[in-house]
Structure 1
Amino acid sequence: MSIPTSIKSLAGALLGCSLAIFIMAPATLAANEAHGQPSEVLFVAQIVLLLIVGRLLGEGMQRIGQPPIMGQLLGGILLGPSVLGALLPDIQRAIFPATGMQKGMLDAVSQLGILMLLLLTGMEIDLALIRKMRRAAASVSIAGISVPFLCGFLLGQFMPQAMLPRPEMRLITALFLGIALSISSVKIVAAVIREMNFMRRTIGQLIVASAIIDDTIGWIVIAVILGLAQRGSVELLPLSVSVIGTALFLAASLTIGQRVVSALIRWTNDSFVSELPVITTILVIMGAMALVTHAIGVHTVLGAFVAGILVGRSPILAEHIRDNLRGLIVALFMPIFFGVAGLTADLTVLRDPALLLFVGGLVLIASVGKFGGAFLGGALAGLSHREAFALACGMNARGSTEVIVATIGLSIGVLNETLYTTIVTMAFVTTMAMPPMLRWALARLPMTPEEHDRLAREALETKGFVANLERVLLGVDRSANGQFASRLAGLLSAWRPMPITVLELGPDHPAGAPPSGPVPPLETVVKNAAESALAPDEARAQRAADVTTRARDAAAEDAVAREARKGYDLLLIGVGRTTDPDGGFHKDVTRLAASFDGPLVVVEARAAHLEDPRAANVNILVPVSGTDASRRALEVALAFAKSGTAPITLLYVSGTPKHAASRHTFGSHDTYTEDAVLREAVSLADQYRIATRTVIRRNLPIDDAIAEQVKRGRHDLVVLGVRPRSVGRLFFGDVAADLLERSSSSLVFVAS
């Protein structure tokens, strides 16, 4: 396979930089050693060299189907005593001195990298997936941890005393060795599953969920063992304090802590105007929780890991924030940490045949123990032999997790350099063997019909409009129209959980007859609607709707513009004065729409919804045309229909619009036949298990056809996909204007 010229040029430039570092670094170090001071220049050179080599080898590994972190680890091994130190020892020691403050500078970045990697690992923990697969995943994980842990513990108990760093701490070393052999690397497993397009397959989800539980249990146990190691012995009282403290920390974190972390992230995002303040808050949360776990007598890694879980569950953590933080960790801390891990390993010790045999036995014990335990757990969970085999293959990857564990063990004296090197070698070998084995095993698993239907539905969701909404701004007053819009927003959040901010724009401005009875808080209207749309089992599994209320402290359009800067994907408008006496939208709605740069939903409550804006059932009509605008409107209507009993009616009008300008909405540019358009719309509704009826109207203007169908079908809500026009005021086309003027049913305009 030929390598593109651009890749060759980049590789050449990076290698040139590396060569320059090799030439200049020894002289720089010598000059600084003369003054007895560490060299900042050499420190920067070390960082640059690790980044260059890690990136190039990681790229190479990924191109041959291996995890890129294996390339970063291999880069450290090549630059360390194993290869460069054996070939050019003076240069290797000059660039990476093994002692002194110069080494301490690099180690400090590496230790921070451990916390950052665990933060990222925690952020990628999918608790919803664990809940979904909890029984089978728990069976696999418990068996998959217990068997290799027992093997590693027994190995540590019977290991020759000469291999122990501190013979009096044999028990702690044995515990540490057991946990080092038993944890799977969720990052490596997830990467291969994702590459094979198995992430949404049942077996793929089970493998990932089991690896997540492995990681979670493993880091909790590691934190306790490290607490024991730091005390130097196993004593009942300190052990009880560590275990109870860990349990209380986890309980507090996953309850009160979750709300506190979400509130901090929301407050930072909404209050600060400087660049990327949320990332600073996340790093502060990570550091604070790491210090808390240290204070209760366990290692800081547990605090960083749990912080990642809490941060990952924050409902307003926008994807670009995740990407920025992930980019910082993957591009900087990950290659440095794994590079330093490789630098620390000295594979020259494996020239001793006895030690080489020990490493081979360690790899065998780790592989057989993990594979056998996971296979047993899969069989107990009711999997077929093929599924259990694929699961066992996936769980046998150590990779990043074991390297982190080994690094921590070496830093606190639980492992010596020989044991460290053997564990890193074991992690490298098992991780390199896992991807081809897992690919082969997964390729032999056919897809079931149930999986096919579920995957088709999820594929539609990923491409959809509603499925990609992350945060909704609800601009409403306390009129009947505002209450109706609030109810629709609640139905939307039940379809896909998302935070909703209710921005109260003013007092009651009744549209038509005012609603009877007292007006509840609009936040309550949203929450009640969301709960009513969920089945009992869904309501128990899903968190309560995340609704925040903000009072207006400026002109309505200024308040919307100011709030919109905090990051929203949709503005839903429901105010009393929607229409103008002279026709079209009221100037208030025009100003509100102009203050938001993004998709809009404008609600106009009429007829029954004026009398009871919180009515549970709606009879919905959706005109469809095959355009993106009508598809988005259909998705919104499907969300509204989730709690209803009446089917949605899909209307296709085969004719010419009354007004030429209407062609842009339902137009002659559409190439779909009426059957194809309706078939696509029905298929989308079927994927979400929403009943539909189809109606075709021919040789009628579109607005007349909609008005006629509203009367015939007794529809009380029309959801119409539109596109705004630049005419100096809010205008969605002549069809929308005619409906706004004469429709007896409530209207929802979905504008992209």
Structure 2
Amino acid sequence: MLRLLTTLEGAGEHLIQPLGHHQLLLVLLELSLLLLMSRGLGEVMRRINFPPVVGELLAGVLLGPSLFGLLFPNLYAEVFPQSQQQSDLLSVVSWLGVLCLLIVTGLETDLKLIIRKGKTALLISLGGIVIPFVTGFGLGWFLPETFLADPNKRLVFSLFIATAMSISAVPVIAKVLMDLNLIRRDIGQVTLAAGMTDDTIGWILLSVVSGLASSGKFDFGTVFRSVSAAILFLAIAFTIGRTIVDQILRWVDDKVGGVTASLSVLLVLSFLAAAFTQYLGIEAALGAFVVGILAGQSRRFSREAGHILEVFTAGFLAPIFFASAGLKVNLLALLEPQTLIFGLLVLAVACVGKFTGAYLGSRAGGLSHWEGMAMGSGMNARGAMEIVVATIGLSLGVLNSQMYSIILMVAIITSLMAPPLLRWSLSKVTIGEEEAQRLEQEELASRSFIKQIHRVLIPTRGGANIQLAAQLVGYMAHQNHTEVTLLYADDKSRAEASQAATAEKDTIAVAAFTAASQVMQLPDDSTLQKKIESGSNKVEAIINEANKGYDLIVLGASEKTRSKDSLFNLIVDRVIQEAPCATMVVKSHLSEAEAESSTTAQQPLKSILVPTVGTEYSKNAVEVASTIAAQTGAIVTIVNVINLPPIEYILYERRTLHPMKDIASDLLEQQAVISRSFGADVQTRILKGTSPEMEILNFAANQNFDLIILGSNIRMVTGRVFFGHRVDAILKKAHCPVAVITAP
């Protein structure tokens, strides 16, 4: 026992002590001051139409030795002591800001955009990298030794300066384009694509140069290892890694679900990748950036989680990082004659090199003079990315405080220059007819119901109703990359059921899945999943699954559990009431007994009827019908019923009917334009009568339509689902299948 106590006493001498009271006090005070100043000045800059990052950087400069340290040296020394341990505490928060900023940048990186604008973007990017890299390398080679942290590492220093001169700031460029409402213009897309390509190449260069700096020497073996590690990491990430990240996000979404889980797994994967690239010697920033890109491409990543991370980063981590970077800047040192002269020289080389390279690349890519001017102006903005580069250079011992201050000055001034120059040059760029048509199509798509459907849930127990519903989903899936989930919901868990009951349930589920999947015929780019889920009741099992980020629930209209108090049946009615997303309920023309037991082939669809009253719900029905018609060759007939006045107003009919016809014609033409935009063959009809639902039913029967699609909102009447008398009447009396589309 004595020996054990002695051992414990000895071990106690080596225990890691908790963070000291004064150290914690200081780091909390530092974070408060930096956040207050950076967010305050950032908002000031935003209001005068400059990037907030400029104000966030200036906050650190003002709290640093340039102003706060000059006016109140004793207080400055107390709040920001020159202690390595205290500085490291602030650096940890700053590095979290760097990594989260790059994750967010990765989430916003559109690889399809880069590929679509590939040739032009690549030429601009190469021009915007090669020329600044060459001029930056020459600058680094001839700068006086006083600007070098280690005069014996001039080659690595020159490569680092060259990389710093080559980088651009996509967030600054994107913000200006958004402010000018040019983000979706051709010139805006090319600018973003070029900036993203530029940054991607820039991070690879930075990783290689950082590897050289870490090794402390330059030789071809080191270069080869750094380049090979970067290329190998990127190759694995964008092949196997893409699938791994997507599968992990899918698994977490299926098993856990929710925004919190999605955000947590993103951060875990990003930090692991950052640790891996840091281990390889190619910089942690690249790993976080790449995982951000991969997560952004996954359909299962929660956009809300990405938004939360962006807000938290923009509101806390990024301002702390930028302000911390500004703390290291000493403007007094920049005012020294030699530093000022060479600082202005660095600024001139940075601006001329980037502008010239981007302009020449734009002209080589076929852009006009003013488009080239806009490219040069936009790509010249360094902003946040330059600061990240400078911070890495300082931490690796490549840059001294003097050169670090100069590079931050370049980042601030180029970020201030970019917005007015971009506004001026882009105002000279005219829009072409083809681009105008594309923008109009994108505007329509942004308001489209069907184009927002990417994940579809189909609860099924077999039968003709759900088979027809699955057939319609198969046609709709041609509009977007769609993930369809067939769900067999049960009210008893597998753990509670006997082995025989479980086997029977599995057999029924497989039969239901097979019946639905056979008629669905999804396109190659869609995916199909099959699930068996349990809850305290079937509705709970369906809603629990629906809450995992689905865009549409598709239901069969009738089952044996139908009640006189329900529109369809108790289960379907409750699902419609509690659904977190849009629903589509499909009712076939078969009798209830046939609908529950039949296995049907694909039903031919040659003509589709869509009644409309011009509401958003009617437009949704038109979009669904048009998508189905575009795949089947069916003709879509859009009708509007003029409700004739009662007999006592018959004397006024001639006077009132003509304006009503004009309104109906305009309404139908608007809906027809939407239908044609989906590639459907469409015709319109105006019907007249005192009972719109009977006019629709008679017209549908006389013209022998194969399907009626209705749009409706959900109304609650004494606890049951109610779509309105007209929709209810059509559902009950139609001779052909009916689908009702609702939106939450």
Structure 1 length as normaliser, TM-score?
0.85
Shift of 1:606: 4.3
Deviation at 1:354, TM superposition (A): 2.2
After TM superposition, the structure 1 = structure 2 runs for residues 8-87 of structure 1, keeping only pairs within 5 Å, are 38-87=22-71
Change (3 A) 1:453 1:687: farther
Match of 1:673, SS state, is helix
Question: Is 2:702 the counterpart of 1:719?
Answer: no
Q: 1:635 aligns with which of 610, 618, 623?
A: 623
Match of 2:699 among 673, 693, 709: 709
Counterparts in 2 of 1:280 and 1:524: CA distance versus 1, 3 Å: farther
The counterpart of 2:689, out of the listed 699, 714, 717, is 699
Aligned-partner Cα distance in 1 for 2:517–2:71: 70
Listed as ranges, the matches of 1:584-663 within 5 Å are: 584-606=567-589, 613-614=601-602, 618-655=606-643
Note if contact 1:584-1:741 (Cα within 8 Å) is conserved in structure 2. no
Q: 1:397–1:434: 8 Å Cα contact kept in structure 2? A: yes
**Residue 504, structure 1, aligned to residue 484, structure 2:** no
Which has the larger Rg? 2
1:454 to 1:612, Cα distance in 2 relative to 1, 3 A: farther
Q: Give the match's secondary structure for 1:529.
A: coil
The equivalent residue for 1:751 is: 742
3-state SS of 2:530 partner: strand
Does residue 530 of structure 1 match 2:523? yes
* Separation in structure 1 between the aligned mates of residue 256 and residue 662 of structure 2, nearest angstrom: 48
State whether residues 542 and 575 of structure 2, in contact with CA within 8 Å, keep that contact through their aligned partners in structure 1.
yes
Determine helix, strand or coil for the equivalent of 1:66: coil
**Equivalent residue number for residue 389 of structure 1:** 373
1:316 and 1:499 in contact (8 A); partners too: no
Q: Distance in 1 between matches of 2:638 and 2:481?
A: 26
- Corresponding residue for residue 549 of structure 1: 530
1:42-95, Cα deviation, whole Å (9 max, x unpaired): 211110111111111001101111000110001001111122222222222221
Paired residue secondary structure (2:716): coil
1:245 maps to: 229
| Structure 2 gaps, min length 5 | 1-18, 491-500, 502-510, 647-659
1:562 equivalent among 534, 544, 557: 544
Aligned residue number for residue 213 of structure 1? 197
Amino acid at match of 1:730: V
Residue 174 and residue 159 in structure 1: after superposition, are their counterparts in 2 closer, same or farther (change >3 A)? same
| Secondary structure in 1 matching 2:109 | coil
For residues 450-470 of structure 1, the C-alpha deviation after alignment (integer angstroms, 9 at most, x for no partner) is 222222222232233334446
Once residues 637 and 707 of structure 1 are traced to their aligned partners in structure 2, the CA distance between those partners, rounded to angstroms, is 18
Contact 2:259 2:305 in 1 (8 A): no
1:276 matched to 2:260: yes
Deviates more, 1:219-228 or 1:496-505: 496-505
3-state DSSP of counterpart to 2:367: coil
Q: Deviations over 1:316-359 (max 9, x none)?
A: 33332222111111111011000000001122122222221111
TM-aligned CA distance change 1:254 to 1:617, over 3 Å: farther
Deviation at 1:505, TM superposition (A): 4.2
Q: 1:673-731, CA deviations, whole angstroms, 9 ceiling, x for partnerless residues?
A: 20221122123234444432111111253223323333454431211012233234333
SS at structure 1 position matched to 2:720:
coil
Letter in 2 for 1:572: V
In structure 2, the CA distance between the partners of 1:747 and 1:576, relative to structure 1 (3 Å rule), is: same
8 Å Cα contact 1:585/1:731 also seen in 2? no
Q: Does 1:494 align with 2:478?
A: yes
Assess if the C-alpha contact under 8 Å between 1:110 and 1:337 holds in 2. yes
Aligned-residue CA RMSD in angstroms?
A: 2.9
Q: Counterpart of 1:673?
A: 663
Q: Name the CA shift for 1:700/1:593 in 2 (closer, same or farther; >3 Å).
A: same
1:111 to 1:723, Cα distance in 2 relative to 1, 3 A = closer
Q: 1:716 to 1:263 in 2, by over 3 A?
A: same
Query: Contact 2:557 / 2:568 at 8 angstroms: preserved in 1?
Result: no
CA 1:457 to 1:700, structure 2 compared with 1: closer, same or farther past 3 Å? farther
- Deviation of 1:576 after TM superposition, in Å, equals 6.6
* Structure 2 counterpart SS, 1:477: coil
Shift of 1:632: 1.9
- Please list every run of 5 or more consecutive structure 1 residues that lacks an aligned counterpart in the other structure: 1-34, 508-516, 532-543, 659-669
Q: 1:496 to 1:385 in 2, by over 3 A?
A: same
How far apart in 1 are the matches of 2:602 and 2:279? 51
Could you tell which deviates more after superposition, 344-353 or 176-185?
344-353
Determine if the alignment matches structure 1 residue 380 to structure 2 residue 364.
yes
- For 1:276, what is the secondary structure of its paired residue? helix
Aligned partners of 1:475 and 1:504 also within 8 Å: yes
Report the residue type matching 1:745 in the other structure.
Answer: C
What displacement does 1:106 show?
0.7
Instruction: Provide the residue aligned with 1:729 in structure 2.
Output: 720
Change (3 A) 1:307 1:38: farther
2:164 equivalent in structure 1: 180
> Does the residue aligned with 1:501 lie in a helix, a strand or coil?
strand
Of 472, 475, 481 in structure 1, the residue corresponding to residue 456 of structure 2 is: 472
Is the 1:122–1:309 Cα contact (8 Å) retained in structure 2?
yes
Deviation at 1:657, TM superposition (A): 11
Say if 2:259 and 2:304, in contact at 8 Å, map to a contact too.
no
State TM-score, norm by structure 2: 0.86
Distance 1:36 1:620, change over 3 A: closer
Asked if structure 2 preserves the Cα contact closer than 8 Å seen for 1:648 and 1:692, the reply is yes
1:24 aligns with: none
CA pair 165-525 structure 1, distance change in 2 beyond 3 A: farther
Aligned length: 685
